């Protein structure tokens, strides 16, 4: 059985946890800014016809799936985070892209979990203005999850 000290050090030496912490900080800081300074459902134009800040409260998952299923989404998030933490502890620190990917996904999942637990919904605000094409408004956590997932898919495809 490993010493307690070795297990404790693993949490601080795994790059995934440092990246996850940074993602959570940036995500929560951006959402705080949006909650405090932007009116809900009123787009703020940043780039004409391309990019807006639009503060919305999303009671579901991606693309509005599972609306108002907060308990299920919290449980799924907790399970996902736990599994990814265990995986990241088993992945070598030298596998940089895997550590980065896991850190992005864990951080994004924690960021959205904080919203669900605190507010019962996720705060989204990055709007590409493609509403007529059903493109969702999203947030920093969503970007992190998407980037982390893309890295993992790229690594899996690269092995074949």
Angle at CA of residue 49, ends 48 and 51, nearest 5°: 80
Q: What pLDDT does 79 receive?
A: 98
Strand 122-127, strand 44-47: pairing: unpaired
Q: Do residues 151 and 104 touch, judged by C-beta distance below 8 A? A: yes
The Cα 154–Cα 13 span in angstroms is: 25
- Rounded mean pLDDT of 108-118? 98
Q: How far apart are CA 84 and CA 90, in angstroms?
A: 10
What is the domain range of residue 21?
Answer: 4-159
CB atoms within 10 A of CB 78: 14
Residues 10-52: tens digit of each pLDDT: 555 578 999 999 999 999 999 999 999 999 989 898 998 889 9
How many distinct structural domains can be found in the chain?
Answer: 1
Active site residues per annotation = 124, 142
Q: Distance between the two ends of the chain, CA-based, in angstroms? A: 36
Burial class (CB in 10 A: 0-12, 13-18, 19+), 132: exposed
What is the tens place of the pLDDT at every residue in 50-73?
899 999 999 988 777 788 789 999
């Amino acid at each position: 059985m490993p010493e307690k000290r070795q297990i404790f050090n693993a949490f601080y030496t795994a790059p995934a946890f440092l990246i996850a912490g940074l993602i959570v900080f940036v995500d929560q800081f951006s959402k705080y800014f949006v909650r405090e300074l932007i009116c809900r459902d009123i787009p703020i134009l940043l780039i004409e016809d391309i990019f807006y800040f639009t503060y919305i409260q999303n009671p579901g998952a991606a693309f509005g799936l599972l609306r108002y299923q907060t308990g299920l989404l919290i449980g799924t998030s907790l399970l996902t985070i736990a599994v990814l933490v265990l995986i990241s502890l088993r992945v070598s620190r030298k596998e940089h892209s895997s550590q980065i990917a896991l850190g992005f996904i864990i951080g994004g999942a924690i960021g959205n979990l904080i919203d669900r637990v605190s507010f019962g919904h996720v705060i989204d605000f990055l709007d590409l203005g493609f509403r007529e094409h059903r493109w969702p408004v999203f947030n920093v956590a969503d970007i992190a999850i998407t980037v982390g997932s893309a890295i993992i898919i790229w690594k899996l495809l690269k092995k074949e």
